Amino acid sequence: MKIVIEKDGDGYLAKVAGHQNLFAFAYSERQAIMELKNVVEMMMDFHLEQVNNERIIRNKLNSAVEKYAVQV
């Protein structure tokens, strides 16, 4: 993973190379890195929430399968 910091107008753009949605702007390099860290944490929270929602769906489907399963 490569972190890239570029001068951008009056500030700096920090981004993770190869990940188009992981970027942040600030007026200093240090602030840009801190903002990028926040962006990464927000993305991680989003993905964890998605995984939890998918687990709930999977569990409901498992219950439905058991309900309609043929007893042998």
CA gap 56, 58 in Å, rounded:
5
Tell me if the pTM is above 0.85.
no
Give the count of beta carbons closer than 10 Å to the beta carbon of residue 35: 17
Residue 7 CA, distance from chain mean position: 25
CA dist 5 and 20 (Å) reads 14
pLDDT in tens, 12-68: 999 999 999 999 999 999 999 999 999 999 999 999 999 999 999 999 999 888 888
